[in-house]
Amino acid sequence: SVEVVIVPDAKAGGELIAAAIGRLLRHKPDALLGVATGSSPLPIYEALTAQVRAGGTDASRARICQLDEYVGLPPGHPESYRSVVLREVVEPLGLTEASFMGPDGSAEDIEGACAAYDRALGEAGGVDLQLLGIGTDGHIGFNEPCSSLASRTRIKTLTEQTRVDNARFFDNDIDQVPHHVITQGIGTILEARHLVLLATGEGKAEAVAQTVEGPVAALVPASALQLHPHATVVVDEAAASKL
C-alpha cells in the first residue's frame, strides 16, 4: 500500500523530500532523478538547492529527467517544461543541460520522439526517484483520467479542466495553453524505483483521497501508485483533509 506522510505545510514537505533525495545521492551519486513541474514540487527544489549550496549534498553527478512536455511550443518558450526544469532545477543545482534529458515537444515526428524518450529512460538505467504532483482530476504527469494504467510515453490531449488549471502560466489566457502534450505513460512512471508524490492545499484533497483510499482505476491515474512497491505520498493537512 501507499505510504502516506502528513506534514504541517508545503515547506516541510519540500524539506522532507529533499532530505530523501540527499540520502539517495549519497548512496548513488549519479542517480537519475525524475522531476515534475507545476507549483507543488517547487518547495522540494528550493530545499534541495539550499542543501547543495550549504554543502550538505553533492548533486554534481546527479542526472535529471522530465516527466512530460507541451507539444508545439517553440523550444525556448519560457513555459515549455524543458525551460521550466532547466530554470527551477538544473541551473539552481549547478548542473548543465548535459545532465538533463526530456522528450522533444517540438519534434516533427512526435510519436517517434515519445518512443525515443521512453527508450532513453531505460537505457539510462531507469529512474531512481520520480517526483510527482497531482492534477485536481487525479492526473499524474499528463496522464488524464482514463489513461491506460499500462501506458507508455505518448501524446495526449489535455482536458478542459487541466488547460484551465494551467492557464495561469500563460497570462491567464486559455487560448495560449497547448492542447497536446507528451507524457511518460503510467506504465513508464511505475518503472521508477521510488515514486514520491507531493500534494498541498484543499484543492487536492479529493484527488488524494481517491489516490490512496479509492480503487485502482484508470479514472484516477494516480491510484496506480497503489500498484507500486515503493510509493510515498506526502501531503499537508489541507490535502489530507479527506483521508
**Does the annotation count 175 as an active-site position?**
no
Q: Which three cell numbers stand for residue 66?
A: 522530465
Q: Are 35 and 131 in contact (CB under 8 A)?
A: yes
**Does the annotation count 128 as an active-site position?**
no
The catalytically annotated residue of 118, 144, 165, 236 is 144
Q: Which is nearer to ligand GLP, 106 or 161 (CB)?
A: 161
Spatial neighbors of 204 by CB under 8 A, at least 6 apart, are: 40, 134, 136, 235, 238, 239
Question: Pairing mode, if any, of strands 32-35 and 3-7?
Answer: unpaired
Q: Are 48 and 22 in contact (CB under 8 A)?
A: yes
Shortest Å distance, C-beta 144 to ligand GLP: 9
**Does the annotation count 58 as an active-site position?**
no
CA dist 140 and 137 (Å) reads: 9
**Does the annotation count 137 as an active-site position?**
yes
The catalytically annotated residue of 69, 139, 165, 236 is 139
Q: Which is nearer to ligand GLP, 147 or 166 (CB)?
A: 166
Q: Which is nearer to ligand GLP, 166 or 210 (CB)?
A: 166
The catalytically annotated residue of 15, 68, 104, 165 is 68
Q: Are 220 and 138 in contact (CB under 8 A)?
A: yes
Shortest Å distance, C-beta 56 to ligand GLP: 26
Shortest Å distance, C-beta 55 to ligand GLP: 29
The catalytically annotated residue of 69, 118, 128, 137 is 137
Tell me how far apart the 2 most distant CA atoms of the chain are, in Å: 45
Shortest Å distance, C-beta 21 to ligand GLP: 17
39-72: string of b/e by CB count within 10 Å (b at 16+)?
ebbbbbbbbbbebbeeeebebeebbbbbbbbbbe
Question: Residue 231 is which amino acid?
Answer: A
Residues of the shown chain interacting with ligand GLP in the complex, contacts defined by CB under 6 A:
36-40, 67-68, 133-135, 141-142, 162, 166
Shortest Å distance, C-beta 140 to ligand GLP: 7
Q: Which is nearer to ligand GLP, 57 or 162 (CB)?
A: 162
Q: Which is nearer to ligand GLP, 99 or 162 (CB)?
A: 162
Which residues participate in catalysis according to the annotation? 68, 137, 139, 144
